[in-house]
Amino acid sequence: MTTANAPAPVRRNALAAPLSRVLVYVLLIAAAIVALVPLYVMIVTAFKSMEEIRTGTLLSLPHAFSFEHWWKAWNSACTGLRCEGLKVGFVNSFLITIPSVVLAIAAGAITGYALSFWRVRFANVLFTVMLIGGFFPYQVLIYPLVRITSTIGIFNSLVGVIAIHVVFALPVVTLLFRNYFASIPIDLFKAARVDGAGYWRFFFSILLPMSVPMIAVAGILQVTFIWNDYIVGLVFGGINYAPMTVQLNNIVHSTYGEREYNVEMAATLLTSVIPLLVYFTSGRWFVRGVASGAVKG
Amino acid sequence: MTGVQLRDLGIRYGNVEVLKGIDLDIPASEFIVLLGPSGCGKSTLLNAIAGLQDVAEGQILIGGHDMTSVEPKNRGIAMVFQSYALYPRMSVRGNLSFGLKVAKVAKAEIERRVANVAKMLQIEPLLDRKPSELSGGQRQRVAIGRAVVRDAGVFLFDEPLSNLDAQLRSDLRVEIKRLHQRLKSTMIYVTHDQIEAMTLADRIVVMKDRIIQQQGTPDEIYNKPANTFVARFVGSPAMNFLEGVVKGDKAIVDGEAVRIASALSAPLVDGRKVIVGIRPEDLTVQTDQAASGFAAEVDVVEPMGPEKLVWCKRGTIGLSAKTPSSSKVKSGDSIRLGLSEDRLHIFDAETGRRL
Ligand SMILES: Nc1ncnc2c1ncn2[C@@H]1O[C@H](COP(=O)(O)OP(=O)(O)OP(=O)(O)O)[C@@H](O)[C@H]1O
Ligand SMILES: [Mg+2]
């Protein structure tokens, strides 16, 4: 009896405001459809043959699934002068994203640490300047940065792209870490000082292990941001280090002959595979509360 | 063994002076308690001794050496924090051994010391747990262990028990006292809990308004408070205060004459305004209307177990008294409160200083 009755109050609550509930669901479903239809069209088109696409049935499922456009997009589609497909860009995007993200997080964590735990001179001024830099629309900075990088000889190189990404990422990563560290009780820092831990010891032995969730959040943000970047890769990477996004654009905008919608769709989906993977697999890292229990009850 | 001396210590946050002119001589092996209301600068002072807080003026000597600008780790101190401040990603063992590892103590020695301390504090079964898997009391034990393992001459405690429930608090209080008897280190203990102060201290330092109000043994603090602040702050419920005017060897208090001569160190001139203080346990509740003392009416009676607390009203004046639990007084009763004349405390009405 008791077990059967137990859930009743919950159910009553759920029915308390049926109208507003229905409304919420209708709105959410509508929003989901609006967001998902383009994705659906992309996926089905990528599997259709050109004949089928020409019939103009945008929303129908493909009659015969074919993977050859995927293979072409990956291996032999023309991206400008070369016809080696997206795989070159895929490798380039990795070469750009991984070092950029690692360096941005390392630098951001260290600056955030210095700004929150150590009384750095002019810390607030430095931080404000950095934030202003971070909120500057970066199209404005492209030309000066081109001049700077070409003067120091890293324009059109992998190092150049990475350096620019790190500089652009630094304000937001620093902000993330500074605020996260500010929430860590100062007593922890004091206890470590009494135990003899200096600047790096406290950072590596105590702070960093506590910061795994924050590192994950910053990592997810930066991986997707840098992977999806177009303009920095286009301007600073030159021909040799064009990331996947730039190559995708070249495929889509190659003008001769008939447009191969299926190849273009497949290429677009391939380009977005990494950010999607990151989103789908990283959820558990967002779990909070790693620091809980160490300080107070 | 290590004593601690503070010489004319002053501490500022920006332009705000938090402490000034602090002079304190703490002999080796003494258990000294810094007692004071919230915000009076107790933690600040403790942090300064630890080297975690910059000092604006004055000197800190530990073991006879000037440590005013020495790094915390080199001061020969260990500290226990109110918030425990355990390293969250390390096991209990990791927490205990971290300081020793940083100091590059040999592995075998670390193991020996950790094992010793774990045994002393009965935390052996917890050694491989993370702080988040411990109860509040266990966490504070580990925090104390982390201090003990440092083998320091001076222990600093910043309200280590205030996050614990009453039962645990009194258990750990005894444990800390036992620890002191065993280690014989100098201990500086901050609290705003007067029971902790009275039970633990060899000597209590009462602080307020940036300065030390009084220092002395618990007995001196309780029985000879230096001013009305100390008198009110120590003792529960607080001392009763009555305004009076001196007349001969008596004071006229609310129309009644009270002999104060035996409580005074020197006679006072007639007409001087004084505050007469008396602790609740020095007031006797008498139901006999013919008895001498202050007529009053019982407002509220609180049974406390071994005794009852009687809150009385005399016109606009409120008075509290303690009476044995066998007493039958109840709210609304007319009573007479007898004063033990030799237990009075006389303070100057203007300065609040003891006379
Ligand atoms: N970082 C700071 N900047 C400015 N003022 C501060 C700072 N830290 C503390 N204070 C001030 O210094 C005074 C003393 O603070 P402290 O923490 O030493 O008090 P406390 O006696 O330990 O109080 P509690 O019993 O509440 O812990 C307080 O008035 C507080 O407002
Ligand atoms: Mg404090």
Is the model's pLDDT at A291 over the cut of 60?
Answer: no
Global pTM reads 0.84
Q: What is the pLDDT of residues B5-55, one digit of tens each?
A: 999 999 999 899 999 999 999 999 999 999 999 999 999 999 999 999 999
Is B164 found in the same domain as B143? yes
By the 8 A CB rule, do A85 and A72 touch? yes
Is B117 found in the same domain as B11? yes
Pocket perturbation via mutation, ligand 1, pick of B33, B44, B207 by most ligand atoms within 8 A of CB: B44
Q: What is the pLDDT of residue B110?
A: 97
By the 8 A CB rule, do A252 and A264 touch? yes
For residue B45, tell me if it sits in a domain: yes
Task: Give, using CA atoms, the residue closest to atom 31 of ligand 1.
Answer: B39
Backbone torsions φ then ψ of B200, nearest 5 degrees: -95, -30
Is B160 found in the same domain as B246? no
| Residue ranges of E strands in A129-258 | none
Q: What is the pLDDT of residues B344-355, one digit of tens each?
A: 999 999 999 999
Is B317 found in the same domain as B197? no
* Candidate from A246-260, B97-111, B293-307 with smallest mean pLDDT: A246-260
Say what percent of chain A tops pLDDT 70: 89
Rounded Cα distance, B215 and B207, in Å? 9
By the 8 A CB rule, do B282 and B343 touch? yes
Backbone torsions φ then ψ of B79, nearest 5 degrees: -135, 145
Rounded Cα distance, A140 and A162, in Å? 19
Is B135 found in the same domain as B39? yes
- The domain that holds B142 is classified in CATH as 3.40.50.300
Q: Supply the DSSP string of A49-70, one letter for each residue.
A: -HHHHHTT-TTSPPSS---HHH
Rounded Cα distance, B322 and B313, in Å? 14
Q: Which residues of A touch B78 (CB under 8 A)?
A: 194
Strand bridging mode B203-208 / B31-35: parallel
For residue B30, tell me if it sits in a domain: yes
Is B128 found in the same domain as B245? no
Rg (CA), chain B: 24
Is B260 found in the same domain as B227? no
Task: Give residue B272's identity as a one-letter amino acid code.
Answer: R
**Ligand 1 surroundings by CB, under 6 angstroms:** B 13, 16, 18, 36, 38-44, 192
- The domain that holds B288 is classified in CATH as 2.40.50.140
Taking alpha carbons only, the member of A233, A223, A219, A212 closest to residue A276 is A223
Angle at which helices B136-148 and B107-120 pack, to 10 degrees? Answer: 130
Q: Is pLDDT larger for residue A217 or for residue B110?
A: B110
Rounded Cα distance, B2 and B63, in Å? 4
By the 8 A CB rule, do B324 and B241 touch? no
For residue B330, tell me if it sits in a domain: yes
Q: How many CB atoms neighbour CB A250 within 10 A?
A: 20
Q: What is the pLDDT of residue B290?
A: 83
Q: Kindly provide the b/e burial profile for residues A185-220, where b requires at least 16 CB atoms within 10 angstroms of the residue's own CB.
A: bebbbbbbbbbbbeeebbbebbbeebbebbbbbbbb
Assigned token pair, B291: 């008895």
User: What average pLDDT does this structure show over A215-238?
Assistant: 90
Q: Which residues of B touch A195 (CB under 8 A)?
A: 73, 98-99, 102, 146, 150
Q: Show which of B183, B213, B233 is a domain's final residue.
A: B233
The domain covering A87-292 belongs, at the CATH homologous superfamily level, to: MetI-like (1.10.3720.10)
Assigned token pair, A297: 């009850």
Assigned token pair, A190: 């004091």
Backbone torsions φ then ψ of B181, nearest 5 degrees: -65, -35
Considering Cα of B60, then B64, then B65, then B71, what sign does the dihedral take? negative
Q: What is the pLDDT of residue A137?
A: 84
Is B40 found in the same domain as B171? yes
Strand bridging mode B240-247 / B4-13: unpaired
Q: What is the pLDDT of residue A6?
A: 43
Rounded Cα distance, A43 and A29, in Å? 20
Task: Give residue B263's identity as a one-letter amino acid code.
Answer: A
Q: What is the pLDDT of residues A58-85, one digit of tens each?
A: 888 888 888 888 888 898 888 777 788 8
Q: Mean pLDDT across chain A, nearest whole number?
A: 84
Q: What is the pLDDT of residue B1?
A: 65
**Which of B85, B99, B131 is closest, CB to CB, to A293?**
B131
For residue B20, tell me if it sits in a domain: yes
Rounded Cα distance, B51 and B45, in Å? 10
Task: Report how many domains make up chain B.
Answer: 2
Q: Show which of B233, B255, B273 is a domain's final residue.
A: B233
Taking alpha carbons only, the member of B245, B264, B277, B281 closest to residue B355 is B264
Q: Can you tell me which residue has the tokens 């013919």?
A: B290
Considering Cα of B155, then B157, then B161, then B167, what sign does the dihedral take? positive
Rounded Cα distance, A8 and A11, in Å? 5
Q: What is the pLDDT of residue A288?
A: 44
Q: What is the pLDDT of residue B293?
A: 87
User: What average pLDDT does this structure show over B150-173?
Assistant: 92
Q: What is the pLDDT of residue A173?
A: 93
CA A182 distance to own-chain centroid: 24
Is B164 found in the same domain as B64? yes
* Candidate from A212-216, B86-90, B209-213, B318-322 with smallest mean pLDDT: A212-216
A287 contacts chain B (CB < 8 A): no
DSSP B238: P
Is B285 found in the same domain as B184? no
For residue B355, tell me if it sits in a domain: no
Count A/B contacts: CB-CB distance under 8 Å.
89
DSSP helix/strand/coil, A13: helix
Ligand nearest to the CA of residue B54, numbered in listed order = 1
Rounded Cα distance, A132 and A171, in Å? 9
Q: What is the pLDDT of residues A280-289, one digit of tens each?
A: 777 665 544 3
By the 8 A CB rule, do B204 and B216 touch? yes
Q: Mean pLDDT across chain B, nearest whole number?
A: 93
Q: Show which of B181, B214, B233 is a domain's final residue.
A: B233
Is the model's pLDDT at A297 over the cut of 70?
Answer: no
DSSP helix/strand/coil, A149: helix
Inter-chain touch A190–B82, beta carbons under 8 Å: no
CA A252 distance to own-chain centroid: 23
By the 8 A CB rule, do A192 and A202 touch? yes
Q: What is the pLDDT of residue A294?
A: 35
User: Which range marks the domain in which residue B318 is found?
Assistant: 240-348
DSSP helix/strand/coil, B184: coil
Q: What is the pLDDT of residues A135-168, one digit of tens each?
A: 888 888 899 999 999 999 999 999 999 999 999 9
Residues 6+ apart with CB under 8 A from B72: A193, A194, A196, B50, B51, B52
| Residue ranges of E strands in B2-141 | 4-13, 16-26, 31-35, 57-62, 65-66, 77-80
Rounded Cα distance, B197 and B22, in Å? 19
DSSP helix/strand/coil, B164: coil
Pocket perturbation via mutation, ligand 1, pick of B12, B16, B18 by most ligand atoms within 8 A of CB: B18
For residue B51, tell me if it sits in a domain: yes
Task: Give residue B233's identity as a one-letter amino acid code.
Answer: F
Closest B-chain CA to A293: B132
How long is chain B? 355
Taking alpha carbons only, the member of A151, A171, A149, A169 closest to residue A159 is A149
User: What average pLDDT does this structure show over A188-194?
Assistant: 95
Rounded Cα distance, A227 and B195, in Å? 62
How is the beta sheet containing B4-13 ordered, strand by strand? Answer: B16-26, B4-13, B57-62, B65-66
**Which of B81, B102, B146 is closest, CB to CB, to A187?**
B81
Q: What is the pLDDT of residue A255?
A: 60
Element containing residue B216 per DSSP (H, E):
strand B211-216
**B335 has which bridge partners?**
B296
Rounded Cα distance, B279 and B297, in Å? 18
Rounded Cα distance, B56 and B13, in Å? 9
Assigned token pair, A101: 């993200």
For residue B353, tell me if it sits in a domain: no
**Which of A193, A290, A296 is closest, CB to CB, to B72?**
A193
- Complex ipTM: 0.88
Assigned token pair, B15: 């332009």
Q: What is the pLDDT of residue B320?
A: 95
Rounded Cα distance, A84 and A255, in Å? 17
Task: Give residue B262's identity as a one-letter amino acid code.
Answer: S
Task: Give, using CA atoms, the residue closest to atom 7 of ligand 1.
Answer: B13
